[in-house]
Structure 1
Amino acid sequence: MNFRITPAVKNLLLINFGVYVLAVFIYYQYQVNINDYLGLHSFFSKSFQVYQFVTYMFMHEFVRDGQLVFGHVFFNMLALFFLGPILESRWGSKRFIFFYLFTGLGAGLSYWAVNAYEVYQLREAVSYYLEHPSPGEFAKLVTGFNRGLYRYWLESEQILEIFDEYPQNIEAIAWSKTKAMEIYEASTWFSMVGASGCVYGVLMGAGLIFPNTEVMLLFIPIPVKIKYIAIGLGVMELYHQVKDAPNDQVAHFAHLAGMAFAYILIRYWNRRRDVFY
């Protein structure tokens, strides 16, 4: 298959890189992080807006600990650059754009809904704990809900050690209640950015439509069939989602959701060949 950049993919690349440059400029010129406004926020956050379901997929992490980062947008767009034209050449630009946005919306909605449920559960658990503080209940709170908030998880582990030793200590109880509230507040800060859900959807689409097409791996120059790349990355994302490692800030569930929505849409199109093909 001869490679050529296609119109929709080219425009998506320009938009994503353009937004990245604009975000960097605004941040360093005006000290404003536009991801705080256009990233997808938690339902329980005051910053949540409905339009973020669309805008989040064109935003990317560009600064971390005050340092400029480029890897997030670069690797997403690199994958789109190589895989997108394969599907757009088959479907045409309009259907490819619809597919891209559909998987991105599906990924965003799924991750947002799961996060809303988890934060709601956490809020209920914190409310119960404030009324019934004990080392056992605090341990449930820390181990059950706080794995992704690494700093709070470590601090809570330290509090738990003291609380276990002095369960009736008024200061320890007050300290644990304060930390419980901090954990809840921190959970509402959730904000997701990036085209990864769309890109994983494109990967799944390419794996379903052109399973035996071979592409060259980036760092290991050997040809691999797209279906094996899709399966491998899907299994890897599932592993990381189940592992739920502390300080893992990657939205693995959104990646899996992007693949799932791609599968659903392609299956639907295949059943309606008289309309879509």
Structure 2
Amino acid sequence: MNQNNAGFMSSIPLVTRNILIINALMYFATVMLKNTINLNDYLSLHYVTSHLFMPHQIITYMFMHGSLGHIFFNMFAVYMFGRVLETVWGPKKFLVYYLITGIGAAVLQLIVTYFRVKGIEAVLSPDIVSQIKDGVTSIMAMPSDHEAMISLYGLINGPMLGASGAVFGILVAFGMLFPNAELMLLFPPIPIKAKWFVIGYGALELILGVVDSPMDNVAHFAHLGGLITGFFILLYWRKKGFFTNGNIFR
């Protein structure tokens, strides 16, 4: 690492810097080891009845990413907004907030998945459901209830990964602390106040989550979970007087 890069990295607050580094290391480890071990099986979040589910995944999933674009946009948001929050709050409070919003995102997505799974299980035989939970793929060749089996298999055995839930927690915090800060959208390139950006983005995620397009593999309710968790954390902190000199809700 040359002196300029070292200087740039050292200018990023401690927790934000380490979040960026850990996510980058985990992504490249996943890519480099893909022919030896599938780290997503162990570290990405699986539904609780999946044979691949492990409790630690509710934390480790937020450090895993599925593509270069996935990790780039998430880490760009962490860098742009996370460093501001860490500077205002300090490293300990920011780390706690980041992890709790990530966990809250996972919990809401798991709850939504539970109801979707139960709805599909109601139309399938217990034997088929049991095989799907065990990861058996051969039953997919059966002509009857083919779409239902594919949907259930994806819900139970498809992993959830990415820092997006925690990123939405960061976004809502930035929008509440600095509601009138102007952000520049990428598409279209127009300015927008932070509060309207957060509200609009949250509404879009709700719509996309409810629509639940079969072509959409984004965990929209995880995004909402991070946003909602962050919102209530900030309400609690405001009640405790943590923002007496801040711009929350102004």
TM-score (norm 2): 0.81
CA contact (8 A) 1:44 1:116 kept: no
| C-alpha distance 233-275 of structure 1, shift in aligned 2 (>3 A) | closer
Rounded Cα–Cα distance in structure 1 between residues aligned with 2:71 and 2:147: 35
Structure 1 position 236, deviation (Å): 1.4
Distance (Å, rounded) in 2 between the aligned partners of 1:259 and 1:183: 26
Hey, what's the Cα distance between the residues in 2 that align with 1:224 and 1:178?
A: 45
Q: What residue number does 1:6 align with? A: 13
Partner of 1:43: 48
SS of the residue aligned with 2:183?
strand
1:58 aligns with 2:63: yes
1:271 aligns with 2:242: no
**Offset of 1:274 from its aligned partner?**
6.7
Q: Computing the radius of gyration over CA atoms, which structure comes out larger, 1 or 2?
A: 1
Task: Give distance in 2, aligned partners of 1:221 and 1:177.
Answer: 46
Aligned to 1:18: 25
Letter in 1 for 2:173: G
Matched, 1:258 2:226: yes
Q: Is residue 45–residue 161 contact of structure 2 (8 Å, CA) maintained in 1?
A: yes
Deviation readout 1:104-155 (Å, 9 max, x if unpaired): 0000011112212321332122139x9xxxxxxxxxxxxxxxxxxxxxxxx9
- Stretch deviating more after TM superposition (250-259 or 84-93): 84-93
User: Counterparts of 2:224 and 2:147 in 1: how far apart (Å)?
Assistant: 32
Of 185, 188, 193, which aligns to 2:156? 188
- For 1:201, the aligned partner's letter is G
Matches of 1:46 and 1:118, distance apart in 2: 18
Partner residue, 1:79: 77
In 2, distance between residues paired with 1:126 and 1:6?
A: 51
> Per-residue CA shift, 1:75-130, capped at 9, x if unaligned?
000111111112111111100010000100000011112212321332122139x9
**d(CA) in 2 for partners of 1:59, 1:274:** 32
* C-alpha distance in 2 between matches for 1:196 and 1:267: 21
Q: Which amino acid aligns with 2:95?
A: I
Match of 2:88 among 87, 90, 99: 90
Higher mean C-alpha displacement, 180-189 vs 223-232? 180-189
1:222 CA drift (Å): 4.5
Structure-2 separation of matches of 1:210 and 1:182: 44
Equivalent residue number for residue 104 of structure 2: 106
Provide the rounded CA distance (Å) in 2 between the counterparts of 1:183 and 1:123: 10
How much does 1:184 deviate? 3.5
Query: Structure 1 unaligned runs (5+)?
Result: 63-69, 131-154, 157-173
* Corresponding residue pairs, total: 223
How has the CA–CA distance of structure 1 residues 181 and 72 changed in structure 2, closer, same or farther, with 3 Å as cutoff?
closer
**Residue correspondence of structure 1 range 95-134 to structure 2 within 5 A:** 95-127=93-125
Shift of residue 227, structure 1, vs aligned partner = 1.1
Separation in 2, partners of 1:182, 1:212 = 45
Within the candidate set 168, 188, 197, 2:165 is matched to 197
Cα drift, residue 20 of structure 1: 0.6
Identity of aligned residues (%): 40
Distance 2:243 2:195 in 1: 26
Structure 2 letter corresponding to 1:266: L
Q: Unaligned regions of 5+ residues in structure 2, if any? A: 1-10, 129-139, 246-250
| Counterpart secondary structure, 2:88 | helix
Instruction: Name the aligned partner's letter for residue 111 of structure 2.
Output: A
Inter-partner Cα distance in structure 1 for 2:24 and 2:149: 38
The structure-2 alpha-carbon separation of the partners of 1:26 and 1:276, relative to structure 1 and needing over 3 Å to count, comes to: farther
